[in-house]
Copies of this chain bind each other. A is one copy, B any other.
């Protein structure tokens, strides 16, 4: 901006500003996205990303977190910890047929947990496999938002520690590897993955007391928590040729 000249109300046009959320998770070895079914025109009956208008004294980040709580029915304590990052802002003049709407898109990374409770004005909310969501025709320009969000998260796994955002507070290295394999749609060598993660300081830290996860088949795995690191140096590059 912010207006470089005098404050002349005729110099600008008022817009509606919204947030759109690509809420991503990993369940059943496949990436999923939270979609809501629209109840009203336009695009009534179509699937769309959750989102909504900014309140008068609310930043886009605050609005995103509020909408996330409303549309998923998650308790506020959980929503507070969710990893939320801006994707980009969509401002095509014709993206909403009703009026001029500028939308700030966010990607939210959540662990696999609850079936969503349709709240707010969403007629229906559901976890949809990402492949299915991208094949469907979503409302507005949500196809593109979803594609951009997916690509941002895919790339982010290479250079940042945000894969842990998909995991519960305590997790095994096998679960962490499954996140990478699911989001990248590729296979990774288990010993090599382990070596790389443990060699990156601050990526994960062992749960004290030698806690292990039992109950599955196979040898019990050690439990880890997300460490203080945020970036990966050097990066964890995804293989060139997918599985």
Contacts and interface: CB of A to CB of B under 8 A. Distances in A.
Given A14-B16, A56-B100, A86-B88, A95 B36 contact: no
A45 interface: no
A237 B234 contact: yes
B56 A4 contact: no
Given A89-B86, A237-B234, A36 B4 contact: yes
A12 B99 CA distance: 12
B60 A89 contact: yes
A4 B102 contact: no
Interface stretch (A17-25, A74-82, A162-170): A17-25
A52 interface: yes
Interface residues of A, number: 62
A131 interface: no
B2 A121 contact: no
A233 B158 CA distance: 12
Interface string A34-61: 0010111000000011111111111111
A13 to B, nearest CB: 5
Contacts of A96: 1-3
A159 interface: yes
A140 to B, nearest CB: 5
A230 interface: no
Contacts of A235: 235, 237
Interface string A207-222: 0000000000000000
17 contacts: A1-B96, A2-B20, A2-B103, A2-B139, A3-B18, A4-B40, A12-B16, A12-B54, A13-B16, A13-B56, A14-B14, A56-B93, A61-B91, A88-B89, A89-B89, A155-B159, A235-B237
